[in-house]
Structure 1
Amino acid sequence: MSGSGAGAAASAPVPVGDTVLLDLDEVGGRVERTELPGGLRVVTETMPGVLSATLGIWVGVGSRDEDPTVAGSSHFLEHLLFKGTASRSALEIATAMDAVGGEMNAFTAKEHTCYYANVLASDLPLAVTLLSDLVTEARNTAEDLESERTVVLEEIAMRDDEPSDAVHDLFAETLYGDTPLGRSVLGSTRSIENLTRDDVDGWYRSRYTAPSMVVTAAGRVDHRQVLDLVTAAFGARLGGGQRPAPLRTGDASPQKPARSAGLIARRTEQTHLLLGTPAMGRLDDRRYAAAVLDAAVGGGMSSRLFQEIREKRGLVYSVGSSLTHYAGAGAFSVYAGCSKKRVPEVLRLIRGELDRVAADGITAEEVARGRGQLKGGLVLGLEDTGSRMSRLGKSELSYGEYLPVREVLDRIDAVDEEQVRAVAAELFTQETCLAVVGPYRESDLDRL
């Protein structure tokens, strides 16, 4: 990486803060965290049994931070950063990564953005150099913005052409209304068409600062080596006495949906629907009981909804529930896709099952099965370096702490029938909202 940052690092090494050992066991590996001067945090997990490493640079900014006039800026910026830096063209960046067989990509969510690279462990220095260059030395030229604007508009069109994707954005809008959580990460066609170079570059320079960033690495990595690489790459940006940005707390979760229903009228073979209700935020201790509940109601092939609607009656191909958590807010929802003529019966069965669970809870057998499903999914999901890297980043940015895998398993094991019953009674007796993509008119929604 070139520029003043690298030069400063070479002449005056940045002092390293205290390193804390967060985990060391057979499940979680060796996890270490260091807070560097300037507020940049570095968290690593050493996995000696692999030959690769995944590096991520997380920025605590997402679509939730945008107002309507710049909706989609965070996602647009994620695209734009790959167009070139002060020292590398887009082709040079891509060529350098392809030459070592690595993969580099990024994603934007409502509360954070992540740039990551998966490489052989021996190529970790290259990954640090390229990713840090992207994140700290982006050009964001007007020419690049215009070419990428078309790409983002095509991505929005692709989302609109896929009803099972469009219904999820519609559900968020129906539940949260015209708020940052209710708006799509992609922005709207109108907002993207109106974004200027100053809008996007200003967003970059105000938000992409060391206190809002976390660097995570997992695989065959050494924490000291990662610190040295990151310190050299970020250079002068690690100066000053800044501390990490405070943990995002968010507003209180809404007690009822913004609207009762939302519709995208489309001539589709299937109707795609989401029925849901507000839920707790991600720092709520009841989230473990809610996760067990979600698994039992619609989280797998043995779940109530799958058995009742697909296996017994064959009304759908796909049906299931999901639980989403944000800072101070959340949602529980049930998705189904079926022919138009079956929609009334499918909705009746979904509502009936939720009513029964609200009144009676779930059985001890279902609780045990839900706990096992969550524990197995957690551990099996951590078999690769990418998922480990992602867990580190989300732990630091979203929770402000790292919980060892063993502790999370213990918390899941502690969930009992009464806790699940209490969560079910709260969630499933609230007002619901319905999002529908299919061959309907607005006047049909009341009937549904």
Structure 2
Amino acid sequence: MGGGTLARLLSSSSSSAAAAAAAAPASRRLLASAAAAGARLATPTPSTGPAGAAASSPPRKGGVVGAIRSALGDAASPLPPGYKVDEQFLHETPTHVTTLSNGLRVATERHPVGAATVGVWVDAGSRFETEDTNGAAHFLEHLVFKGSAAMSQRALETTVENMGANFNAYTSREQTAYFGRAVTAHVPELTNILADILLNSEMSPASVERERDVILREYAEVNKLPEEELFDNLHATAFQGTPLAQTILGSEDCIRSLQRPDLRAYVKRHYQPHRMVLVGAGDVDHDTFATQADKLFGGMRSDPDAESAAQLVAARPCFLTGSDMRVRDDYAPDAHFVIAVESCGWAHADAVAFMVLESLLGGWERYATTGDVVSSRLANGLHATPSAKRVGAFNTSYADTGLFGLSAVAAPHDLDDVVSVMMGELVRLHTAVDEGALAAAKAALKTRMMAAADGSTAAAEETARQLLVYGRKVPLAEWVARIDAVDAAAIKRLVGKYVWDREVAVSALGNVSQLPDLTWIRRRTFSTLY
């Protein structure tokens, strides 16, 4: 399946979806109506929305298959003639979205479970910082919960504790999230608190200094974790000279130098309504929630000159540079290393195929109960390599680029054997893909995708993330169809396009004296005969 075909699969037409809603039986209209609603959310841009554009095809009647073809139009063409989506995937809780006059989107998914998660996701993270303010997004994550002009930190903690609620937050390279969970009766109060601490955060100089010490301690602890250091170094070397090279916590110098005006300036520039999504998932009524959201957030001024995340990404694009970063410690018991190639952004035509490829390669651990009985060729090859201890595929996507590769932990000797197996099995997929293994990988991916949305917090996070990166919530049936459309030919083409004779980035730490050099690894992207 070519990139153009998959690009069409990554887009759905509102007109074809509406036609499907009229033609399909009532019990099967969810896919069409969800696609239509999703298409109305936003007009995707090349950086933030699904790539390509689907040409509308005439509506076709005929049960589930007809509904899918009508909803997806020509995008359904890669699917086999007898393709069917299990009906259980069509019965999905709908996502309701209201856009306020200032551009902030309010989304809900109702699950009558007696509790709900409410959160604000911002399309801003460490990628949008300058070199001098690296760490500002993470610093704000700490400060927001330290009280507002109307409520001190102690009063906030007491109120949340009395409600039996909890708050949390996280920062990534492209997004920042603030969310809380409470029983149904306290959801309005939870939403009020969330709006207050976000819109009226005090950020007193004393709070800034206290949190600076907390973040510096966190910085020291994170640097003791091999995996965290490994992937921070990978971004630093792979995306050197670009914003994605910056760490989420920030450099130690920046953490020490950031002041209240720097944080205020970051909020003013990036915490714009059109870059924010308010989500409620669980026992929450959409109309009531949207009305409250308009009262709380409707007063946020929308700056007509404010850049969108897509504009900021386009102004400072990121790309991979073939490179190598190693932190050598000959006294360490193991070698930790990562080998990565540049992949694609969230909404690129090849994004779903990369998800399938990650599942196909999978992971392996020597001391796991299934260590010697896994059907994966990669796992079998590593099990026969005595020094290998653990290997796993990873797939990290951003707005305009991404990283795909394999991470490994191994004994410090014979590391060339471990790398040979890893690269050999990855490159082999350019010419040979086992159909049985591919079917199993796609089934496993669907299972993980459904399991990942279990619970109100996971549902809220997934809804917000999709609204920010795709401009809509993608129905589960559409995900299943997209995954099923990735065949052996698509995997071969993907590896040929992104892996075969392409630059690699390597990050390694620990006892890595025997890890082959970058040129040796680079040659393995097109041959295992050297």
Query: For the superposition of Structure 1 and Structure 2, which TM-score range results when normalised by the shorter chain?
Result: 0.7 to 0.9
2:102 to 24, 38, 49: 38
Question: Deviation string for 1:51-96 (max 9, x for gaps)?
Answer: 2211110111111111101011111111111111111122222222
1:306 to 374, 379, 384: 379
**Amino acid of the residue matched to residue 378 of structure 2?**
L
**Amino acid of the residue matched to residue 285 of structure 1?**
A
Question: Aligned Cα RMSD in Å?
Answer: 2.6
What is the number of equivalent residue pairs in this alignment?
Answer: 424
Stretches of structure 1 lacking an aligned partner (at least 5 in a row): 1-19
1:436 is aligned to: 508
5 Å-filtered alignment, 1:98-247, equals: 98-237=161-300, 246=308
1:337 is aligned to: 409
1:248 is aligned to: 310
1:354 to 426, 429, 442: 426
**Amino acid of the residue matched to residue 119 of structure 1?**
A
Does the 8 A contact of 2:336 with 2:510 survive in 1?
yes
Q: Alpha-carbon deviation of 1:136?
A: 0.5
Change (3 A) 1:338 1:417: same
Does the 8 A contact of 1:247 with 1:397 survive in 2?
no
2:479 to 395, 402, 408: 408
Name which of structure 1's ranges 39-48 and 240-249 shifts more when overlaid on structure 2: 240-249
1:275 is aligned to: 339
**Amino acid of the residue matched to residue 39 of structure 1?**
G
**Amino acid of the residue matched to residue 122 of structure 1?**
A
In 1, Cα distance between the equivalents of 2:253 and 2:514?
23
Does the 8 A contact of 1:53 with 1:219 survive in 2?
yes
In 2, Cα distance between the equivalents of 1:276 and 1:361?
21
Where 1:347 maps in the other structure, the secondary structure is: helix
Please give the TM-score of this superposition, normalised by the length of structure 2: 0.75
Does the 8 A contact of 1:56 with 1:114 survive in 2?
yes
Q: Alpha-carbon deviation of 1:323?
A: 0.9
Please state if 1:327 is matched with 2:327: no
**Amino acid of the residue matched to residue 217 of structure 1?**
G
In 2, Cα distance between the equivalents of 1:302 and 1:130?
51
Where 1:264 maps in the other structure, the secondary structure is: strand
1:292 is aligned to: 356
Does the 8 A contact of 1:75 with 1:108 survive in 2?
yes
Name which of structure 1's ranges 264-273 and 71-80 shifts more when overlaid on structure 2: 264-273
1:93 is aligned to: 156
Q: Alpha-carbon deviation of 1:25?
A: 7.6
2:133 is aligned to: 70
Where 1:139 maps in the other structure, the secondary structure is: coil
Question: Deviation string for 1:290-317 (max 9, x for gaps)?
Answer: 21111111357654433321x4445344
**Amino acid of the residue matched to residue 308 of structure 1?**
G
Which of the two has greater strand per residue? Answer: 1
In 1, Cα distance between the equivalents of 2:261 and 2:317?
33
Q: Alpha-carbon deviation of 1:203?
A: 1.2
In 2, Cα distance between the equivalents of 1:420 and 1:319?
20
Change (3 A) 1:90 1:361: farther
Change (3 A) 1:235 1:331: closer
Please give the TM-score of this superposition, normalised by the length of structure 1: 0.88
Identity across matched positions, percent: 27
Please state if 1:318 is matched with 2:406: no
Q: Alpha-carbon deviation of 1:376?
A: 0.9
Change (3 A) 1:419 1:100: same
**Amino acid of the residue matched to residue 511 of structure 2?**
P
Where 1:341 maps in the other structure, the secondary structure is: coil
Does the 8 A contact of 1:30 with 1:47 survive in 2?
no
Stretches of structure 2 lacking an aligned partner (at least 5 in a row): 1-35, 40-87, 365-373, 522-530
2:442 to 364, 371, 376: 371
**Amino acid of the residue matched to residue 123 of structure 1?**
H
Where 1:424 maps in the other structure, the secondary structure is: helix
Where 2:482 maps in the other structure, the secondary structure is: helix
